[in-house]
């Protein structure tokens, strides 16, 4: 009996949160319920005052978790920012100035006045285009390579040392090689992203193939599946979650690397935009760009997360 | 000379190379199985029961000796010796129906058309009472149900020999009893030849025509073979005060705990 009353109360509280006007009626209803269910139980946990206090606590917790705590952090950061502006370096603009700049930047993000003067929307679009092309190429090459390494010990032994040596190298170190090879900025940046993205894809695909339970392969053997069928019906679905993890890692690193790469290559792109605004001492735009890069990064991450959830299966 | 056996293991030896030298797991294993017979392999952990089963399945190749099925040597895996694995081994990305269908499509690619294969998949799942979960994924069904599907997948290939590697080992006692009854029912309907590994003495006696008791490894081999002269169909409850049942049971227990006392218990 007592437990059904406690189960009822939180429900009513959710409604209270959602609509202020309905509160009185609802509480009246739940009050009645409480009277019916709770009165006979003499337990401090079920007295009305204690109940209400507990509800307050729960309500507060939920709110805090969703909004309040991040808000507090945000305010602290704003405080530190204002402090730096006022006391440390006046070259760092005040939050209010940055806000105004942001409003202006976002009022027309897709303006285009020649190749050297485009809105932030275009800058992001160009960067995204490079990241996605490099990433796509890396996936096209990396998955088969990782697959063959996983299946063939000979291939693995032959390629593993090279991959181990190249993997820790900053992808930017490849930029000059790209510039030499392609004699153009755009393909060089794509090349750098390709190099960035390929290692996690290869390594995760490889690990995925290697960690397939032996039982699955025994099933394949008993069924006498051919190489093609084993690949399509067992290897590929079993490794898919690993492959997608690799892709998710690649994409988030690639989005970080593109900013640095474009600072070096120039042209259009969010990286170069930051560099350009730095040369113009437009610190407001730089701060806005940092925010934009973060939001795009989160978006890419959530898309990959969604894909990962879509293709993963519980063991 | 006796009639030619359906399935036979002839002088099977199995050696494994280990860092500490060659380990002889099986030594001179001989076994003859008649068509339609239900055989249990019982023995202590590590005595090589699974090795024997894997050799019959073709998943392992005997170091010497060999396996004959209908007088033909078998040395690689095939659907004529379907295996029910201990931990079900259903593919988690396929539904119940698709898991069974995978084998059906492979085995009956030429002999059955699409509708017939659909029909046959459902029929085998019906046999194990799993038609209510055709479109469920393995993680959505219980352990006992998974094992039922594992059995259906093996049966659907219409194997000459059904190999079961401790099929009920991971299940609770009640579920296990249910599945044992199901297996007996299926065996009486299909009259298939079965080799089953088990740790469970009651399970062995209840289900088998003969119980093959294996001596301890290394160099394990067939210790004794016990005929279970109980008429079929066998009824679990009726066995509780059946003299033959108790004779068999104590026979196996004596073998396991007197003659083959397991010194280094695994």
Predicted-complex ipTM score: 0.86
> How many residues are recorded in chain B?
266
Residue B48 and residue B206: Cα distance in Å, rounded?
Answer: 23
A189 located within any domain: yes
> What's the pLDDT at A35?
40
Q: Determine, yes or no, domain membership for A96.
A: no
Residue B83 Cα, gap to closest chain A Cα (Å): 7
pLDDT of residue B260: 79
Residues A203 and A253 in one domain: yes
Q: Is the pLDDT of residue A8 over 70?
A: no
For residue A85, the distance in angstroms to the closest alpha carbon of chain B comes to 56
The token pair that represents B170 in the structure block: 């991971």
Rounded mean pLDDT of chain B?
90
**Residues A83 and A128 both lie in one domain:** no
Contact B85 A219 (CB under 8 A): yes
DSSP state of A282: -
Vertex B143, ends B200 and B51: CA angle to 5°? 50
Looking at the fold, whether A76 and A171 belong to one and the same domain comes out as: no
Give pLDDT tens digits for B45-58.
Answer: 888 899 999 999 99
Chain B residues close to A223, C-beta within 8 Å: 79, 102-103, 106-107, 157
Chain B closest-CA separation from residue A242 CA (Å): 14
User: Can you give the pLDDT at residue A100?
Assistant: 94
**Residues B8, B15: Cα–Cα separation, whole Å:** 20
Comparison of pLDDT for A32 and A315, the residue scoring more: A315
Is A44 found in the same domain as A132?
Answer: no
A209 and A63 in a common domain: no
Interval A174-188 mean pLDDT: 95
Over residues A96-116, mean pLDDT:
91
Q: Write out the residue range of the structural domain in which residue A77 sits.
A: 2-87
User: How many domains does chain A fold into?
Assistant: 2
pLDDT for res A2: 40
Report the C-alpha gap between B115 and A150 in whole angstroms.
37
- Better-scored residue on pLDDT, B88 or B3: B88
Closest CA to B120 of B132, B105, B130, B135: B105
Domain boundary among the residues A63, A87, A111 is at A87
- Within a domain: residue B142? no
- Interval B173-198: pLDDT, tens: 888 998 999 999 999 988 999 999 99
pLDDT tens sequence across A243-287:
999 999 999 999 999 999 999 998 899 999 999 999 999 999 999
What is residue B31's three-state secondary structure? strand
In a domain, B134, yes or no: no
Whole-number pLDDT of residue A9: 42
Alpha helices in chain B (DSSP H): 49-57, 96-107, 114-127, 143-156, 173-190, 201-207, 243-254
Q: Which of A294, A289, A291, A286 is nearest to A91 (CA)?
A: A286
pLDDT-based confidence at residue B39 (cuts at 50, 70, 90): very high
- On whether the CB atoms of residues B179 and B185 are closer than 8 A, the answer is no
Q: Is residue A19 over pLDDT 60?
A: no
Residue A99 inside a domain? The answer is no
pLDDT at residue A4 tops 60: no
Respond yes or no on whether the N-terminal peptide bond of residue A121 is cis (omega within 30° of 0): no
Peptide bond connecting A128 to the previous residue in cis, omega within 30 degrees of 0: no
Q: Test A224 with B78 for CB contact under 8 angstroms.
A: yes
**Domain-located, residue A290:** yes
Q: Which of A216-220, B113-117, B255-259 shows the lowest per-residue confidence on average (mean pLDDT)? A: B255-259
Tell me what pLDDT residue A17 has: 42
**CATH code, B63:** 3.40.50.300
**Does residue B264 belong to any structural domain of this protein?**
no
Residue B114 belongs to some domain of the structure: no
Least confident of A169-183, A285-299, B41-55: B41-55
Name the pTM for this structure: 0.77
Quick check: A238 and B82 CB within 8 A? no
pLDDT, residue A46, reads 57
CATH at residue A217: 1.10.3720.10
Is residue B98 a part of any domain in this protein? Answer: no
b or e along B146-164 (b: 16 or more beta carbons within 10 Å of the residue's beta carbon)? bbbbbbbbbbbbbbbbbbb
Residue A189: pLDDT over 50:
yes
The DSSP 8-state label assigned to residue B34 in this structure reads: -
pLDDT at A55 over 80: no
Task: Identify the residue among A208, A222, A233, A315 best suited for mutation to test binding to B, counting B beta carbons within 10 A and taking the highest.
Answer: A222
Of B79, B91, B139, Cβ closest to residue A222:
B79
pLDDT exceeding 90 applies to what percent of chain B? 70
Q: Which residues of B touch A (CB under 8 A)?
A: 57-59, 76-79, 81-83, 85, 87, 89, 91-93, 102-103, 106-107, 137, 139, 157
Q: Binning pLDDT at 50, 70 and 90, where does residue A21 land?
A: very low
Looking at residue B254, what is its pLDDT? 92
B46: left (phi over 0), alpha (psi -120 to 50) or beta: left
Average pLDDT over residues A107-117: 87
- pLDDT recorded at residue A267: 87
Q: Which residue of B has its CA nearest to A212?
A: B91
* Rounded mean pLDDT, A4-26: 41
Mean pLDDT value across chain A = 85
**Contact list, A218 vs chain B (CB under 8 Å):** 59, 77, 83, 85, 89
Residue A171: inside a domain, yes or no? yes
Strand B21-33, strand B222-227: pairing: unpaired
Task: List the domain range (segments joined by +) for residue B213.
Answer: 7-82+159-259
Q: Which of B58, B78, B84, B92 to mutate to probe the A interface, most A CBs <10 Å?
A: B92
Do A124 and A268 fall within a single domain?
yes
**pLDDT one-digit tens code per residue, B166-176:** 998 888 888 89
- Asked if residue A139 and residue A40 are part of one domain, the reply reads no
Same-domain status, A56 and A141? no
Tell me what pLDDT residue B47 has. Answer: 84
B244 vs A37, higher pLDDT: B244
Q: What pLDDT was estimated at residue A47? A: 66
């Amino acid at each position: 009996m007592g437990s059904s009353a406690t189960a009822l109360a939180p429900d009513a509280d959710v409604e209270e949160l959602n609509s202020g006007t309905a509160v009185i009626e609802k509480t009246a209803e739940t009050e009645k319920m409480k009277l019916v269910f709770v009165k006979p139980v003499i337990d401090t946990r079920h007295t009305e005052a204690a109940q209400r206090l507990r509800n307050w606590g729960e309500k507060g917790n939920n709110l805090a978790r969703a909004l309040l705590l991040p808000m507090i952090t945000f305010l602290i950061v704003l405080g530190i920012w204002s402090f730096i502006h006022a006391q440390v370096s006046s070259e760092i603009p005040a939050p209010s100035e940055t806000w105004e700049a942001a409003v202006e930047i976002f009022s027309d993000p897709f303006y285009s006045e020649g190749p050297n003067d485009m809105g932030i929307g275009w800058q992001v679009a160009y960067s995204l285009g490079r990241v996605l092309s490099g990433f796509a190429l890396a996936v096209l090459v990396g998955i088969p390579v990782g697959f063959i390494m996983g299946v063939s010990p000979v291939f693995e032994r032959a390629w593993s040392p090279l991959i181990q040596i190249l993997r820790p190298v900053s992808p930017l170190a490849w930029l000059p090689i790209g510039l030499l090879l392609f004699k153009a900025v755009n393909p060089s940046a794509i090349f750098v992203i390709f190099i960035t993205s390929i290692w996690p894809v290869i390594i995760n695909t490889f690990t995925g193939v290697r960690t397939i339970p032996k039982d699955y392969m025994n099933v394949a053997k008993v069924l006498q599946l051919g190489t093609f069928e084993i690949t399509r019906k067992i290897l590929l679905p079993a490794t898919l979650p690993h492959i997608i993890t690799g892709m998710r890692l690649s994409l988030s690193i690639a989005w970080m690397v593109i900013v640095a790469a474009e600072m070096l290559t120039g042209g259009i792109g969010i990286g170069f935009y930051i560099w350009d605004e730095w040369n113009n001492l437009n610190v407001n735009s730089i701060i806005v760009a940092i925010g934009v890069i973060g939001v795009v990064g989160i978006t890419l991450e959530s898309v990959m997360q969604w894909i990962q959830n879509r293709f993963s299966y519980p063991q | 000379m006796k009639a030619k056996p359906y399935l036979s293991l002839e002088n099977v030896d199995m050696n494994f190379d280990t860092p500490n030298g060659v380990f002889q797991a099986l030594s001179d294993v001989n076994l003859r199985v008649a068509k339609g017979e239900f055989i249990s392999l019982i023995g202590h952990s590590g005595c090589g029961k699974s090795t024997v089963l894997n050799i019959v399945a073709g998943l392992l190749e005997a170091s010497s000796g060999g396996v004959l099925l209908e007088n033909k040597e078998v040395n690689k895996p095939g659907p004529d010796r379907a295996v029910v694995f201990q931990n079900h081994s259903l593919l988690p990305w396929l539904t119940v129906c698709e898991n069974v269908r995978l084998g059906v499509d492979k085995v009956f690619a030429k002999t059955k058309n699409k509708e017939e294969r659909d029909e046959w998949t459902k029929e085998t799942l019906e046999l194990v009472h799993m038609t209510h979960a055709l479109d469920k994924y393995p993680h959505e069904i219980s352990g006992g149900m998974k094992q039922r599907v594992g059995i259906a997948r093996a049966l659907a290939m219409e194997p000459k020999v059904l190999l079961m590697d401790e099929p009920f080992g991971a299940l609770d006692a009640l579920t296990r009893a249910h599945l044992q009854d199901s297996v007996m029912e299926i065996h009486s309907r299909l009259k298939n030849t079965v080799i089953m590994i088990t740790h469970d003495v009651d399970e062995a006696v209840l289900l088998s025509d003969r119980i093959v008791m294996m001596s301890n490894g290394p160099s394990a081999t067939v210790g004794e073979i016990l005929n279970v002269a109980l008429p079929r169909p066998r009824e679990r409850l009726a066995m509780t005060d059946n003299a033959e049942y108790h004779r068999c049971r104590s026979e196996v227990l004596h073998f396991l705990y007197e003659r083959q006392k397991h010194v280094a218990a695994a």
